[in-house]
Amino acid sequence: MASPVAQFQVKPIFPVVPEGESLPFYAFTNSSVAMVAAVVVAAVFFWLATRKRAMVPGRWQSVGELTFEFVANMIRDNVGKEGMKYFPFIFTLFCFVFIGNMLGMLPYSFTFTSHIAVTAAMAVFIFVGVTIIGFARHGVHYLHMFFPHGAPLATAPILIPIELISYLSRPFSLSVRLFANMTVGHIMLKVLAGFVIALGAFGFIPFIVVGGITVLEFFIAALQAYVFTILTCIYLNDAINMH
Amino acid sequence: MEAEAAKMIGAGLAAIGMIGSGIGVGNIWANLIATVGRNPAAKSSVELYGWIGFAVTEAIALFALVVALILLFAA
């Protein structure tokens, strides 16, 4: 029986190997296929949603508008009207993570968000971007974020390191939250599926459990995409409107 | 002690850290239910924060679980 972590292996499909070397310097992997599939699904969905610009929306247009409003309300509630200029980025982020998580629930597919490399790339990009936005908007005054207004000056030697560490831990928590949720969910599904075979005639009990956990995993996939996006909005709010 | 046995014991110890997250998640839902119980009209305003709080607290459990999984499968 295969190991439950074999599903996360990145397999190169079209490696590009330079002359005289043995390792490819770039390879189009199953992870790349999953990401391209997510982009294609998003593009096709929004093409269908925006084909007829009817005043009374049809079904596709309705869902497209619902998604748009969902993310737009998220940004307006958490960042304010100024945050809407970052709407394309946040919307892309939400759709990419959401569709990526959902596509990973299909059997034999690859969940590209289950790799720390992918989620860390996104999280570091968000962290560096938000820090740059903060400094660009407020200048050196942005450093005042690490010393909340109205705290007594004597607490500064303790408060500032704590605030600094919790600020620097943001990309870690953001990336590990998404990657760990996806990885653990899929490992759990595989391990329980192994029980179905191992129990033989009584295999229907773990089968029912696998069914229930799959429903949970769909929900967690959507929730993690939402939490990733809303935490990005909250960090953006910290940068744009400091407290 | 051989390395394989030590890895198993380490994974088991690392997974104990998930207890804290269990208490935390229970805390969030208990307060959410109590809030909605006292003031049913407030449901829509606190429901959102309930889900965000749940996901963020669950992440702590998964940090511990990641350490356990690294020991079991990747070290």
Q: What is the pLDDT of residue A243?
A: 62
Cβ–Cβ of A180/B63 closer than 8 Å?
yes
Q: Taking all residues of chain A, what is their mean pLDDT, rounded to a whole number? A: 90
A30: left (phi over 0), alpha (psi -120 to 50) or beta: alpha
Residue predicted with more confidence, A226 or B1: A226
Q: What is the pLDDT of residue A127?
A: 95
The total of other beta-carbon atoms located within 10 Å of residue A214's CB is 15
CA B14/CA B7 separation, integer angstroms:
10
Tokens for A175, please give them.
Answer: 């990336």
Tokens for A27, please give them.
Answer: 């390879």
pLDDT 10s digits, A185-243 = 999 899 888 888 888 888 889 999 999 999 999 999 999 999 999 999 999 998 998 76
CA A109/CA A99 separation, integer angstroms:
13
Q: What is the pLDDT of residue A228?
A: 95
Q: What is the mean pLDDT of residues A25-46?
A: 92
Establish whether this prediction's ipTM goes over 0.85: no
What's the one-letter identity of residue A146? Answer: F
Contact A72, A84 (CB under 8 A): yes
Query: By the CB < 8 Å criterion, does A226 face chain B?
Result: yes
Among B55, B56, B62, the residue with its CB nearest the CB of A184 is B62
Among B51, B52, B62, the residue with its CB nearest the CB of A180 is B62
Number of structural domains, chain B?
A: 1
How many angstroms separate the Cα of A69 from the Cα of each of A76, A93, A171? 10, 15, 27
Percent of chain A with pLDDT over 90: 56
Q: Is A217 exposed, middle or buried (0-12, 13-18, 19+ CB in 10 A)?
A: buried
CA A175/CA A81 separation, integer angstroms:
27
All residues at 6 or more sequence positions from A26 whose CB lies less than 8 Å from its CB, including other chains:
A15, A16
Q: Is the pLDDT of residue B41 over 80?
A: yes
Contact A213, A105 (CB under 8 A): no
Sorting pLDDT into bands at 50, 70 and 90, what band is B31? Answer: very high
CA A163/CA A146 separation, integer angstroms:
5
Among B52, B62, B73, the residue with its CB nearest the CB of A230 is B52
What's the one-letter identity of residue B23? Answer: I
Query: By the CB < 8 Å criterion, does A188 face chain B?
Result: no
Query: Hey, which residues does A14 pair with through a beta bridge?
Result: A28
Residues of A with Cβ-Cβ distance to B52 under 8 angstroms: 227, 230-231
Q: What is the pLDDT of residue A7?
A: 86
pLDDT 10s digits, A118-155 = 999 999 999 999 999 999 988 888 888 888 777 788 88
Domain map (residue ranges) of chain A: 6-13+28-240
Q: Which range, of A28-37, A46-55, A113-122, B3-12, averages the lowest pLDDT? A: A46-55
Contact A156, A87 (CB under 8 A): no
- The nearest alpha carbon in chain B to A230 belongs to B52
Q: B40: domain CATH number?
A: 1.20.20.10
Q: What is the pLDDT of residue A1?
A: 62
CA distance A243 to chain B (A): 18
- The nearest alpha carbon in chain B to A224 belongs to B55
CA A20 to chain centre: 38
Query: By the CB < 8 Å criterion, does A176 face chain B?
Result: yes
Tokens for A90, please give them.
Answer: 């946040």
Tokens for A59, please give them.
Answer: 């079904």
Tokens for B1, please give them.
Answer: 């002690």
Contact A141, A135 (CB under 8 A): no
CA A161 to chain centre: 28
**pTM score, whole prediction:** 0.89
Q: What is the mean pLDDT of residues A50-68?
A: 89
Q: What is the pLDDT of residue A106?
A: 93
CA A174/CA A159 separation, integer angstroms:
22
Q: What is the domain range of residue B19?
A: 3-74
CA distance A116 to chain B (A): 11
SS3 state at B43: helix
Q: What is the pLDDT of residue A65?
A: 92
Among B55, B62, B69, the residue with its CB nearest the CB of A227 is B55
Cβ–Cβ of A180/B51 closer than 8 Å?
no
